[in-house]
Amino acid sequence: MTVVVVGQGYVGLPLAVRAVQVGHHVVGFDLDKHRIDQLRRGESFIDDIGDEDIAACLRTGRFTPTEDAAELAGFRVAVVCVPTPLRDGAPDLSYIEESARLLAPHLTPGACVVLESTTYPGTTEEVFGPILEAGSGLSAGTDFHLGYSPERIDPNNPTWHLQNTPKIVSGIDEASAAAVREFYDTIVDNTVPAPGTREAELAKLLENTFRHVNIALVNELAMYCHELGIDVWSVVDMAATKPFGFMKFTPGPGVGGHCLPIDPSYLSWQVRRSLGRTFRFVEIANDVNDNMPAYVVSRVTEHLNRRKLAVNGSRVLLVGLTYKRNSGDARQSPALPVANRLAELGAQLSAIDPKVTAADVPAGVELVECTPEVLAASDVVVILTDHDDVDWELVERHADRVLDTRNRIRAAGVDLL
């Protein structure tokens, strides 16, 4: 069948590639012409999809990257995978709304439209569907199928990827749910039907809120452990030996990526709007995780002070700028506010990161290679992201003044978070 995937980013591109691989004709739509031009040249811009994957899709003749809305015509399934950022603490659904307006003129009886973007419960039926109906003259559930299936992309996860991660599927009625499931059964190994779109929308928020809250728990524990002189990493490791009732989460310099800094706030926003009260766990987790970069800077200051050095003028080497190990994704990375605050305090900043693109390097930070000279010349090395392809043995040998927020190295002169 002809499938349109609106949004060719970290969620939409893997879906488009997988859909081509299983035999669908796929139109990959994105308003970013530079991104579309890259795809036309067979170039990928995300970790999980290689250039050869794009080239192979193009060779089939069944993959059409485009920024031209006219090419959306003729689809049987359309999937919307666009960003849903926060603006002043409230969800910005403008990308979802614009996607519906673009699809509506091309909507035909019997077609199926699925929203994958993370959002608050009710969006599919109360916002997305009515725009499709108004622009097409068709009725959702009567003339066309409408559903929601939350994305579960974990960039650069070596074990779980699009195909083998169970996929929640839902529709506004039984026929829509069946149509949504029929499509995703061609894409993934296992689909999980939800009672309705609101339950599916909220399940996604619960998944990310669960992780956000538990990371905040161990981050706050890390701060207390430092004051008490206790190794938080050994505490977490020991607790993780319990085979039931415990799931291991580890502390770090904050949270980043496209989900954790944003998605739980959707839940908090809706509870506040609909029920007139706050979702306390989310508010507390936001407070802890949002303040971790500032805490890291305070630990850098403490580390330098012990050697009678000020942050102002000190040479600080940051190891890792992306939000996640082995990923080139710097969206919402906690390393960025750490760098910005250190720069404001007058530090001379350089960074080692084999994954990051030059465009994501903060102003005032020099991207350097990992060499003995660079390491030895630094007043302090701050490990923010522990990519496997950093030469950690070299770091241990030549950097004896280290603040490690990821528990990557254990050596003399290393302070752990």
Alpha carbon 358 to chain centroid, angstroms: 19
Would you state the structure tokens that stand for residue 72, as one six-digit string? Answer: 């959306």
Rounded Cα distance between 287 and 391, Å, is 34
Annotated catalytic residue: which of 57, 112, 259, 370?
Answer: 259
Measured at the CA of 327, the angle between CA 325 and CA 330, to 5 degrees, comes to 100
Rounded Cα distance between 157 and 289, Å, is 22
With CA atoms as reference, report the closest residue to 107 among 141, 146, 71, 74: 74
What is the torsional sign of CA 406, 407, 413, 417?
positive
Burial of 320 per CB tally in 10 Å (0-12, 13-18, 19+): buried
Residue 220 in contact with residue 209, Cβ under 8 Å? no
Rounded Cα distance between 178 and 170, Å, is 8
With CA atoms as reference, report the closest residue to 9 among 184, 259, 180, 183: 259
Rounded Cα distance between 185 and 206, Å, is 24
Does residue 112 carry a catalytic annotation? no
Rounded Cα distance between 244 and 26, Å, is 44
Q: What is the DSSP string of 281-311?
A: HHHHHHHHHHTHHHHHHHHHHHHHHTTT--S
DSSP SS3 for 190: coil
Residue 172 in contact with residue 114, Cβ under 8 Å? no
SS3 content of the chain, % helix, strand, coil (to 5): 40, 15, 45
Locate tokens 């590639």: which residue? 17
Q: What is the DSSP string of 152-189?
A: ---TT-SS--TTTS-EEEEESSHHHHHHHHHHHTTTSS
> What element of type H or E holds 146?
strand 145-148
Locate tokens 């944003």: which residue? 262
Active site residues: 259
